Amino acid sequence: MCAMREKCLIISGGEFCPINDVPSGTFIIACDRGYEYALRCGLTPDLVVGDFDSYSGGFADGIPVDRYRVEKDDTDTMIAVRYAVDHGFKSVDLRCALGGRLDHLLANLQSAVFAAEHGLEAEISDSRTFISTMTPGVRRLPKKEGWSLSLFSITDHCVGLSIRGVKYPLDKALITNAFPIGVSNAWMRRKSSLKKAYFLSFSQNYRFACGGPSTLKKSEKQYPQHKIYAACLDQ
């Protein structure tokens, strides 16, 4: 039964990541190989869906399994997201949805956008990355030490984006999905605030380094017209 549950955890079949922070009462959907990942994390799915082209093992008794043809329009993850939308969940959390094939990663991002467009809070995360879809309004983001903050427009453009408490603030800015102006920002205060935006927030477990040409490698000094250079480094 999922009628009284608000949170839906979807375990996809991308690159495996440990899952050990599942709130009590969360409805869990495993997608194809995601069932194997769930077992590795000690989780029992409430539902398993997929065409099972990447998992051929058995299933525990009592777990509902919805099988689909390999030739279909929706990805296995999208099937799970549609289920969450159709059954009235308020949020979806996609895990093991990053890494692996690039086309699958992009499809998982689109699935998260689909959830957001239908009124759900949608997140994708692993040990190094946290992605959240956001609708117009104000959102406060707690500072993550050693993490960078990047913003991407989901729609063609995002009008009136303001961000405070970061190294590179914006005030009623226009960002588009054709230019990566929002990549690799850094927190300056304990929290950053965002206003009037419809965008994708993307944080990676990288340190943010910024400086003038004197801090760059010799081969990079041939571009003096750039006043600021940014580099992403592994934590």
pLDDT digits (tens, 9 = 90+) for 10-22: 999 999 999 998 9
Q: Has residue 148 been placed in a domain? A: yes
* 82 and 118 within one domain: yes
Instruction: Give the closest residue to 228 by CA, choosing from 208, 215, 216, 211.
Output: 211
pLDDT above 70: percentage of residues in the chain: 80
Q: Mark whether 98 and 171 lie in a shared domain.
A: no
Calculate the CA dihedral of residues 129, 133, 137, 139 and round it to 10 degrees: -20
- 83 shares a domain with 32: yes
Distance of CA 128 to the CA centre of its chain: 11
What pTM, to 2 d.p., does this model score?
0.80
Does residue 50 come out as left (phi exceeding 0), alpha (psi in the -120 to 50 range) or beta? left
Q: Domain check: are 182 and 75 in the same one?
A: no
Band of residue 2 on the pLDDT scale cut at 50, 70, 90: low
Expressed as residue numbers, the domain containing 45 is: 7-127
Q: Which of 71, 93, 127 is the last residue of a domain?
A: 127
Q: Please state which of the ranges 52-56, 92-96, 117-121, 229-233 shows the lowest mean pLDDT.
A: 229-233
| d(C-alpha 130, C-alpha 32), whole Å | 23
pLDDT tens-digit series, residues 79-99: 999 999 999 999 999 999 988
> Which among 2-6, 152-156, 180-184 has the top mean pLDDT?
180-184
Q: What is the DSSP string of 31-92?
A: ETTHHHHHHHTT---SEEEE--SS--S---TT--EEE--SS-SS-HHHHHHHHHHHTT-SEE
Would 223 be classed as within a structural domain? Answer: no
Q: Are residues 185 and 120 in the same domain?
A: no
**Cα three-residue angle 21-195-108, rounded to 5 degrees:** 45
One-letter amino acid identity for 223? Y
**Listed range (62-66, 77-81, 94-98, 185-189) with the worst mean pLDDT:** 185-189
- Is residue 28 included in any domain, yes or no? yes
CATH number at 189 reads: 2.60.120.320
The answer to whether position 39 is within a domain reads yes
State the total domains in the chain.
2
